[in-house]
Structure 1
Amino acid sequence: MQSFPLPYAVQIAQALGPSIIALAALLITAYFAWKQWSTARDRLRLDLFDKRYAYFVVFREFMISVIQHGDATNDDLRKFWQGMIGSEFVFDKEVTEYVESVRKRAELLRSKNRILENIDNGEARARMADEVSSIFLSINDDFPLLEQKFAKSMNLGSM
């Protein structure tokens, strides 16, 4: 029997076939690896957003309660402390300082309100009432800034 040589194109396909299949498998594997990485990154962003939003809600409820009552009750402070544990690890310095500033003023408001309750003297009571009012107004004036302060940290695109 006479053997005919294979056409040149078939010989090239035979020689490169395994390499082409291996390259195609590599590209498919790389694509799936990239998609898994992308999905994991998006999941991380969503998890971080969920944690930050939970802290935002606790802090917003704390501020609303202080503003509604004109005082920080023991229950408000307890909920704040329990709800904000670990928040310093997921927010930047600006948000953490803002939260701490409002918390300190709320605790000062509470202390001044307790002192005010025990003052009978008209002039001393008026001075203390002015201090309480000033602290309360500073917290009240900060409420509109709440979303602005948290917005940068809550933007999914910048995480």
Structure 2
Amino acid sequence: MNTVALIPELVKGLPAAFVTLIIGLIAAGIAFRQYRIARAKFKLDLFDKRHAVFLQTWAFISLMLDSKRFIDVKEVMEFRREAANAKFLFGSDIKHFVDAVEKKSLERGDAMVAVRKAATEAERNEASRLIEETREWATREVKLIHDRFASYLDFSNWR
């Protein structure tokens, strides 16, 4: 077959190829936009879950600021349940911090019980010292909690 005769046949197929190319580009653009929307939604959902853990932790630490406020085991277990996702949503630094909050609150509760049940003045003073120590710890941590969580809640640096 003559190659010169093939050229008109090829030219006849160009409009269809061009239309197919345009449709393919449009489909690729739509797919890319859907990908970006899905990624943004994922980031927002992650932020919402992380922010909830942050607020729960902040609120729970704030309970320890009142040296007369007794935090019972039920409240600690509720905090543990609410903050359980920390190990999945954050790095080990926040997971260890949430564990420390729980531990400090239990120590504080034990000390408050010890103050009530102390047989001697020395035992009562030691328990009171532990209560004050946890209150001071909570005071420091309430001031630092935003910095601890900042890298995970910063919109400019998604992990």
Q: Same fold (TM over 0.5)?
A: yes
Equivalent residues of 2:56, 2:83 under 8 A apart:
yes
Tell me the number of residue pairs that the alignment of Structure 1 and Structure 2 aligns: 151
Once residues 65 and 128 of structure 1 are traced to their aligned partners in structure 2, the CA distance between those partners, rounded to angstroms, is: 18
Once residues 65 and 132 of structure 1 are traced to their aligned partners in structure 2, the CA distance between those partners, rounded to angstroms, is: 12
Q: Does 1:31 align with 2:29?
A: yes
Change (3 A) 1:137 1:71: farther
In the alignment, what sits opposite 2:150?
A: 151
| Cα offset, 1:15, TM superposition | 4.1
Once residues 108 and 87 of structure 1 are traced to their aligned partners in structure 2, the CA distance between those partners, rounded to angstroms, is: 21
Q: Deviations over 1:85-109 (max 9, x none)?
A: 2221111111111111121111111
Kindly provide the amino acid, as one letter, of the partner of residue 116 in structure 1.
V
* TM-score, reference length from structure 2: 0.83
Once residues 100 and 49 of structure 2 are traced to their aligned partners in structure 1, the CA distance between those partners, rounded to angstroms, is: 21
RMSD: 2.2
- Return 5+ residue gaps in structure 2 as ranges: 1-6
Once residues 24 and 131 of structure 2 are traced to their aligned partners in structure 1, the CA distance between those partners, rounded to angstroms, is: 69
Kindly provide the amino acid, as one letter, of the partner of residue 89 in structure 1.
F
The partner residue of 1:67 within 65, 68, 71 is 65
| Cα offset, 1:12, TM superposition | 7.8
| Cα offset, 1:11, TM superposition | 8.5
Change (3 A) 1:70 1:138: farther
Equivalent residues of 1:71, 1:106 under 8 A apart:
no
- Return 5+ residue gaps in structure 1 as ranges: 1-7
Once residues 143 and 40 of structure 2 are traced to their aligned partners in structure 1, the CA distance between those partners, rounded to angstroms, is: 30
Equivalent residues of 2:64, 2:134 under 8 A apart:
no
Equivalent residues of 1:73, 1:110 under 8 A apart:
yes
Q: Which has the larger radius of gyration?
A: 1
Once residues 151 and 71 of structure 1 are traced to their aligned partners in structure 2, the CA distance between those partners, rounded to angstroms, is: 30
Kindly provide the amino acid, as one letter, of the partner of residue 154 in structure 1.
L
Query: Any idea what SS the aligned residue of 1:111 has?
Result: helix
